[in-house]
Chain A
Amino acid sequence: MPFVNWLKRHLVVIAGLLTLSYLLLPNVVVTVFSFNKPKGRFNYEWQQFSTDAWKDPCGVADMCGSLGLSLQIAVWATLGATVLGTMIAFALVRYRFRARGAVNSLIFLPMAMPEVVMAASLLTLFLNMGAQLGFWTILIAHIMFCLSFVVTAVKARVMSMDPRLEQAAQDLYAGPAQTFLRVTLPIAAPGIAAGALLAFALSFDDFIITNFNAGSTVTFPMFVWGSAQRGTPVQINVIGTAMFLVAVLFVLAGMIIGNRRNRQKA
């Protein structure tokens, strides 16, 4: 039975590819339905092909504004979380100090907590302080939950760094600042970049924490959530598809550049 043997040998590959298609199916649907012309307010059923939404991506009231707001928050949250997180990561890897265990758990806990719990408790804090919910409360919340992820990403990179490189720099009469800027930072850069990228993605796509702490401010995920109740414009799918394409292009470009560099080094 050659077929059965072939099947046996490739069973794991087939199962893996099936899972991959399960993961990608919604993206295919999102893309296809960005060319739909729905009859009612909801874009769940296929009617007919149309490129109307692509020609007028901002044709829905408030959608592009919410997209801009989300981007703005994501950029600031990434910046804040990356700076604070990188500092913590360096302290954790490079120095011994008291209460190390406590610091580690304080970093770990936000990642082990359901988002709804963090969201609800943060809202009680803001309500108690009488804070005005909006841009700033969203930004504060985003920096808070992105921080731990940045620490983890940077820590992994700094930990695998060869400490002799810095010693060598110092042997060559580089001062502490120079050593840090010319040796340590470039080596840690991929870890910091990974942390920043993760923070950006987390912040941009966050819904639950934002839902609790946004007040009447509408970010893009909040807009999509609202539209699931009021009616889903096709433009949402256009934005979703465009985001997917841009992300894939970025990653591909990064890979090609990386490959070229490796080849040059070889």
Chain B
Amino acid sequence: MATVTEVEAPPLAPGTDPKPPKKRGRLVPYWLLLPGLLWLVIFFALPMIYQASTSVQTGSLEEGYKVTWHFATYWDALTEYWPQFLRSVSYAAAATALCLLLGYPLAYLIAFRAGRWRNLIMILVIAPFFTSFLIRTLAWKTILADSGPVVGALNTLHVLDVTSWLGWTAGDRVLATPLAVVCGLTYNFLPFMILPLYTSLERIDGRLHEAAGDLYARPWTTFRKVTFPLSMPGVVSGTLLTFIPAAGDYVNAELLGSTDTRMIGNVIQTQFLRILDYPTAAALSFILMAAILLMVTVYIRRSGTEDLV
């Protein structure tokens, strides 16, 4: 694209300014970038530095904080809150796996089997976005209510006995258990899995399926050897788009969980907004950021799709 602007100007008629307009335009990209980038630098990058500095400060609310390079805050935060970190990662991983499992068939259906229903199903996938996600999350309190039909059915089928034994639920309740939180996380981030999956499935040339069939591949083999590998970019960006927000979420754990399901987001939120222990909160948030960036980088390198950006 950009080569267009660099195409040699045609020889100019005598009498016109010999300077090509490209010289004058050299500063244009910087002027275009400046306001937006300034915004991101001041309100995204600079806060990260402030946060890093806050995390190594000591002091109190009354006397003020000073930078004392007190790195012990990190150690204390990790030793005290490692269960919440672990919980965040495992809940987010479970929700991501569930999203992939549930989202793939739907994305596949929209891409290949929906026919004239395609647009309608697409709208139905996006439409819930327009109702506040907090209201929709609260609706899960009704759906999973102790006396509701879902819990009743699970009880009759003795599913809850199994999940209680696994530690996912407690007694004959679903609400206020890990299962409810993971269910809420899965629900909330499912569209973020479906949309990238659909985009990459839709790009697949239908003739490749025919070719696989012509070469005597059964449908399942076609899926395993042709469709799934070609949809990998969608799988990678979908898992990232669900895992990252799920790991930092505290809404589902607060509304659908209990004190035993608190995730790291809950800890950061209470430390920052209720306990007002800024250094600990900043350290926790910094650790979360570092952990996620590390995981994302390793994951992208491994899956070999670096052109996500």
Contacts and interface: CB of A to CB of B under 8 A. Distances in A.
A257 interface: no
A225 interface: yes
A212 B268 CA distance: 10
Among A124, A207, A247, max chain B CB count under 10 A is at: A124
Given A12-B113, A84-B36, A23 B245 contact: no
A262 to B, nearest CB: 13
Contacts of B37: 88, 103, 106
Interface string B262-280: 0001001100110000100
A24 interface: yes
Interface residues of B, number: 88
B142 A45 contact: yes
Interface in A87-144: 87-88, 90-91, 93-97, 103-110, 112-118, 120-125, 127-128, 140-141, 143-144
B4 A167 contact: yes
Given A87-B35, A114-B292, A117-B248, A243 B47 contact: no
Interface stretch (A25-33, A51-59, A184-192): A25-33
B187 interface: yes
A192 B127 CA distance: 20
A181 interface: no
Nearest to A10: B113
A147 B36 contact: yes
A125 B36 contact: no
A64 to B, nearest CB: 14
Given A26-B136, A87-B32, A237-B135, A247 B127 contact: yes
B106 A19 contact: yes
Given A88-B33, A116-B250, A23 B128 contact: yes
Interface string B238-263: 00100011011111000100000000
B13 interface: no
A231 to B, nearest CB: 12
Provide the main secondary structure of the chain A interface. Answer: helix
Given A91-B29, A112-B296, A244 B36 contact: no
A203 interface: no
Contact of B33 (A91, A116, A207): A91
B17 to A, nearest CB: 15
B32 A91 contact: yes
Interface in B8-53: 21, 28-30, 32-33, 35-37, 39-41, 43-48, 50-51
Contacts of B282: 120-121, 124
A26 B128 contact: yes
A232 interface: yes
22 contacts: A12-B113, A16-B105, A16-B107, A23-B187, A85-B36, A88-B37, A95-B32, A107-B309, A108-B309, A114-B249, A117-B248, A120-B51, A144-B43, A147-B36, A147-B40, A151-B36, A163-B4, A166-B4, A211-B273, A240-B132, A248-B123, A255-B123
Interface of A: 12-13, 15-20, 22-27, 29-30, 33, 44-45, 84-85, 87-88, 90-91, 93-97, 103-110, 112-118, 120-125, 127-128, 140-141, 143-144, 147-148, 151, 159, 163, 166-167, 176, 201, 205, 207-208, 211-212, 220-221, 224-225, 228, 232, 236-237, 239-241, 243-244, 246-248, 251-252, 255
Given A13-B109, A25-B139, A167-B4, 7 more contacts: A13-B113, A19-B105, A25-B143, A94-B29, A116-B268, A120-B281, A232-B138
